[in-house]
Amino acid sequence: MKALLDRARTFRTRVDFDSGEYRKLAEGQYPEVLFITCSDSRVIPALITGARPGEIFELRNAGNIVPPYGRPGASGEAATIEYALEVLGVQDIVVCGHSHCGAMGALKSGDDLSGLPGVDAWLRIARPELTSVLETAPDDPSLPEVSQGNVVNQLAALRSYPVVRQRLDSGRLRLHGWYYEVDTGFVYERGDDGTFQVHAA
């Protein structure tokens, strides 16, 4: 914690606020994409994409899960999606899963999560749609089939939001599925054929 605190204290000296780039951020944000990914500390959207401050609007949670539209109760995910589209006007949404995901690993192994009731309730959202993948995926600690299957399912969940459907139907929104390999740095993109492929540099 001390190292993080020290870097926070010196942030102002490490960044050129006089250049105007950071000062402009106070005038508003105009992100190009809503980036939905896992809370995992190894997955850093700005590092992966090279995004500058203000370029991506992030939604992060355990397992990059998008609750289906209309679930009862308040939802930070629903609020973030709605705000990104209706207020910020983003035209692209990326759902990015990753290798070695703890949430997907817990689903695959069928861990007893009774000691983590919040985690258990959260993962129950993703479990039904992943059942077939969980049953057939090999026991690979990187979990590519499970994580990629989850990305596909979360893209489908996004389409359950009226604000997403309206923009898709009018050509004002594009959805993207990514899979990030933690140990190699490769980013796989879901193509029109439904498979995830590494994009050539």
CATH numbers and ranges of domains, the chain: 32-198 (3.40.1050.10)
Give 60-72 pLDDT, tens digit per residue: 999 999 999 988 8
C-alpha 134/C-alpha 167 separation (Å) is 32
Question: pLDDT digit string (tens) for 89-115?
Answer: 999 999 999 999 999 999 999 989 999
pLDDT at site 11: 82
Total number of residues shown for the chain: 201
**CA 169, 174, 175, 178: dihedral to nearest 10 degrees?**
160
Question: How open is the CA angle 159-160-165, to the nearest 5 degrees?
Answer: 50
Binding residues: 38, 40, 98, 101
In sequence order, what are the residues at sequence separation of 6 or more whose Cβ sits closer than 8 angstroms to the Cβ of residue 7?
14
pLDDT band of residue 8 (cuts 50, 70, 90) is: confident
Mean pLDDT for the stretch of residues 46-70: 96
Cα–Cα distance, 158 to 162 (Å, whole number): 9
- Detail the residues annotated as belonging to a binding site for Zn(2+): 38, 40, 98, 101
| pTM, rounded to two decimals | 0.93
